[in-house]
């Protein structure tokens, strides 16, 4: 199988082929989604929510991200793997950012990293890129800044924040980022960004006029039941399948139906 590279991801934008991206945090699920043909696998710090049960992405550590990333990497044959640099491990200065990015690359075998923010983290992005590590940007509703925003509602609805976002996207492009995630912003603004920068723009809750889409796997599979924002399309009800299967197992154990003679030695 041919592995996806940043060059192929750029070529997809250039020829108008939409890019598919999905999160994964463990070996078994990464194997399933890689073989299903997803272009980019994101080891998101959303692991803090869906894997660890935290309310925000802030608590997850660099060591924990490396654990998730190395599990995913062992499963992947085709997809390009991006790993989130977690909160608190890059905002300090560019040396801290470089040290964290290098730890992720060396210890997990990941292909690239993603960091949240625009002009504020420009020096860090340049430093990480100069070490040969591809960087993906992330603008809009950046969950590591949730306590600054105070709400998970749509970002950049007002002119000022929208202009700052467009200018940040251009900064990310100039720095040399290979792509940008835009989270929960108006579709028209995302369209403008995708037109004004030449690098791929991947949206989540950013409408259809971008170069690709990303979702959190557990959300699109119907495993995280409570989370139903308007941007989410649920492709399966895996949560109910698991609950039913486990219910049947419990019933069979209790009724002594399991194991039967054929299932015994």
Catalytic residues: 183
Q: Are 65 and 47 in contact (CB under 8 A)?
A: yes
Binding mask 159-198 for ligand KIV (x = CB under 6 A): ----------------------x-x---------------
Structure tokens at 179: 């792509």
Give the separation between CA 28 and CA 243, rounded to whole angstroms: 19
Among 24, 44, 162, 205, the residue binding Na ion under the rule CB under 5 A is: 44
Q: Are 59 and 89 in contact (CB under 8 A)?
A: no
Q: Is the dihedral of CA 164, 169, 173, 176 positive or negative?
A: positive
Q: For the beta carbon of residue 14, count every other beta carbon within 10 angstroms.
A: 11
- Helical spans, DSSP H, in 118-184: 122-130, 146-149, 159-175
Among 84, 168, 173, 211, the residue binding ligand KIV under the rule CB under 6 A is: 84
Span near Na ion by CB under 5 A; candidates 27-35, 44-52, 160-168, 202-210: 44-52
- Could you give the maximum distance between any two Cα atoms of the chain, in Å? 71
Q: Does 45 bind Na ion (CB under 5 A)?
A: yes
Span near ligand KIV by CB under 6 A; candidates 39-47, 101-109, 158-166, 253-261: 39-47
Q: Does 46 bind ligand KIV (CB under 6 A)?
A: yes
211 has binding-site annotation? no
Question: Residue 8 CB, nearest distance to Na ion (Å)?
Answer: 23
Instruction: Give whole-number Cα distances, 66 to 6, 46, 100, 206, 215, in Å.
Output: 21, 14, 10, 28, 21
Phi then psi dihedrals of residue 145, to 5 deg: -105, 20
Q: Does 89 bind ligand KIV (CB under 6 A)?
A: no
Residue listed under structure tokens 């989370």: 227
Among 4, 30, 72, 216, the residue binding ligand KIV under the rule CB under 6 A is: 216
Q: For the beta carbon of residue 86, count every other beta carbon within 10 angstroms.
A: 24
Q: Which is nearer to ligand KIV, 181 or 190 (CB)?
A: 181
Question: Residue 260 CB, nearest distance to ligand KIV (Å)?
Answer: 43
> Which residues contact ligand KIV by CB under 6 A?
23, 42, 44-46, 84, 181, 183, 204, 214, 216
Annotated binding site for 3-methyl-2-oxobutanoate: 45-46, 84, 114
Annotated binding site: 45-46, 84, 114, 116
């Amino acid at each position: 199988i041919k592995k996806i590279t940043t060059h192929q991801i750029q070529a997809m934008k250039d020829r108008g082929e939409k890019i598919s991206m999905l999160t994964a945090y463990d070996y078994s699920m990464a194997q399933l989604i890689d073989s299903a043909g997803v272009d980019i696998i994101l080891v998101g710090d959303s692991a803090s929510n869906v894997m660890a049960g935290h309310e925000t992405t802030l608590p997850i550590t660099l060591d924990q991200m490396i654990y998730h990333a190395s599990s995913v990497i062992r499963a992947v044959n085709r997809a390009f793997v991006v790993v989130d640099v977690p909160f608190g491990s890059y905002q300090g200065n560019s040396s801290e950012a470089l040290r964290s990015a290098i730890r992720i690359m060396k210890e997990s075998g990941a292909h690239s990293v993603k960091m949240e923010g625009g002009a504020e983290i420009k020096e860090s992005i340049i430093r990480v890129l100069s070490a040969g590590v591809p960087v993906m940007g992330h603008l809009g509703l950046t969950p590591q800044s949730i306590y600054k925003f105070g709400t998970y509602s749509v970002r950049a609805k007002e002119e000022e924040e929208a202009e700052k976002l467009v200018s940040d996207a251009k900064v990310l492009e100039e720095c040399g980022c290979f792509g940008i995630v835009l989270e929960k912003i108006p579709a028209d603004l995302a369209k403008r960004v995708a037109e004004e920068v030449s690098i791929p723009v991947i949206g989540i809750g950013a409408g259809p006029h971008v170069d690709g889409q990303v979702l959190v796997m557990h959300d699109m599979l119907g495993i995280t039941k409570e989370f139903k924002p308007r941007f989410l399309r649920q492709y399966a009800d895996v949560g109910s399948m698991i609950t039913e299967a486990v219910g049947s197992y419990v019933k069979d154990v209790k009724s002594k139906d399991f194991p039967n003679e054929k299932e015994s030695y």
